Amino acid sequence: MQNALLETHLGSLSLTARGKVRDIYLLNENELLFVATDRISAFDHVLGSGIPDKGRILTQLSLFWFDFLRDTVKNHVLTADPAKFPVELTPYLDQLAGRSMVVRRAQMFPVECVVRAYLSGSGWKDYQATGAVCGIALPKGLRESDRLPEPIFTPAAKINTGGHDENISFEDVIATVGRENAESLRRLTLEIFEKASRHAENRGLILADTKFEFGVIDGEIVLADEVLTPDSSRYWPADGYAPGGPQPSFDKQYVRDYLESIRWNKQAPAPALPDEVVERTRAKYLEAFRLITGRSEL
Ligand code: Q0Z
């Protein structure tokens, strides 16, 4: 097995954004390099160990979904073929191959386009407090992880540096991006989700919710960032789905169980993971990749 890649080092290229697990570099005025590292987060912290191949697996999953959705929405991908990367990247192709894409720089909407088909996470919290999620009233008597009558658009505002995104109403989205964009973002989010969740269901996976990020390139709305990965989505195994409580995470359950077992206080520094937890978690990411793409090789 390869070692995990925890940090990228791309010489003089300038880092535009560093997320918990992804790094974005500026290539030129119109192009960015989007890199998925092998870092893994849990309980809002990046852990001391990475998961070998996680970045490659998630990048190949995003590419699968961009292609799956190509007739529904334009996207930001220019190429994921290292042979077509700009020459400045040649010294770093070993680090980058399989885990990175050259993407078109978009004017990003400052709205997280979340869609939920099941009641979980902050949606469940909001529902318990108010009977609604993002101002959308829901039937009474729903339990945690229940399926909703239909998928709902539950946007969130990005909070910089660490903080959780804040659920906002559709009226708030309109105030931020204008009515026409807000309606386009909602329509695209629900249409993409419908296609993807049907595919997931056919493969034995429940897509409980996911988050899309859109931007504008040449006046057109494009799907950007990562798409429908386990990091941006809640996938649950359909087998064993049992509403009335939280569902086990498809990918991170061994990690969470380990962190609970050692009674980590969820304050930095986050612990490293034992080899067995790393290996089992890697196997779950590979299983998700195989189920979704039907391919067994990256
Ligand atoms: C996405 C993010 C990440 C930290 C900027 N095509 C694009 N054009 C312009 N900006 C972005 C994209 Cl994808 C963009 N993010 C979110 C991703 C690390 C933050 F990998 N920030």
The answer to whether the CB of 32 is under 6 A from ligand 1 is yes
Look-up of token digits 């590292």: 37
pLDDT at 2: 82
The answer to whether the CB of 106 is under 6 A from ligand 1 is yes
Number of C-alpha atoms within 13 angstroms, CB side, residue 102? Answer: 17
pLDDT at 163: 74
Question: What's the whole-model pTM score?
Answer: 0.97
pLDDT at 162: 63
Going from the Cα of 276 to the center of ligand 1, the distance in angstroms, rounded, reads 33
Q: Which two tokens stand for residue 73?
A: 């929405």
User: Which of 105, 225, 232 is the best mutation target for the ligand 1 pocket, counting ligand atoms within 8 Å of the beta carbon and taking the most?
Assistant: 225
Distance separating alpha carbons of residues 88 and 12, to the nearest angstrom: 10
What's the CA angle centered on 197, arms 78 and 128, to 5 degrees?
A: 115
Instruction: Please report, in tens digits, the pLDDT of each residue of the chain (298 residues total).
Output: 789 999 999 999 999 999 999 999 999 999 999 999 999 999 999 999 999 999 999 999 999 999 999 999 999 999 999 999 999 999 999 999 999 999 999 999 999 999 999 999 999 999 999 999 999 999 999 999 999 999 999 999 988 766 789 999 999 999 999 999 999 999 999 999 999 999 999 999 999 999 999 999 999 999 999 999 999 999 999 999 999 999 999 999 999 999 999 999 999 999 999 999 999 999 999 999 999 999 999 9
pLDDT at 164: 86
Asked if 221 and 177 count as a contact pair (C-beta separation under 8 A), the reply is no
Q: Which numbered atom of ligand 1 lies nearest the CA of 24?
A: 20
The answer to whether the CB of 27 is under 6 A from ligand 1 is no
Going from the Cα of 23 to the center of ligand 1, the distance in angstroms, rounded, reads 8
Distance separating alpha carbons of residues 151 and 190, to the nearest angstrom: 7
pLDDT at 161: 63
User: Which of 15, 16, 24, 76 is the best mutation target for the ligand 1 pocket, counting ligand atoms within 8 Å of the beta carbon and taking the most?
Assistant: 24
Q: Which numbered atom of ligand 1 lies nearest the CA of 22?
A: 20
Asked if 225 and 249 count as a contact pair (C-beta separation under 8 A), the reply is no
Distance separating alpha carbons of residues 127 and 185, to the nearest angstrom: 23
Going from the Cα of 107 to the center of ligand 1, the distance in angstroms, rounded, reads 10
User: Which of 54, 108, 226 is the best mutation target for the ligand 1 pocket, counting ligand atoms within 8 Å of the beta carbon and taking the most?
Assistant: 108
Going from the Cα of 74 to the center of ligand 1, the distance in angstroms, rounded, reads 16
Distance separating alpha carbons of residues 28 and 272, to the nearest angstrom: 36
Q: Which numbered atom of ligand 1 lies nearest the CA of 34?
A: 20
Distance separating alpha carbons of residues 168 and 281, to the nearest angstrom: 33
Exposed, middle or buried: residue 9 (CB in 10 Å: 0-12, 13-18, 19+)?
A: exposed
The answer to whether the CB of 105 is under 6 A from ligand 1 is yes
Going from the Cα of 224 to the center of ligand 1, the distance in angstroms, rounded, reads 8
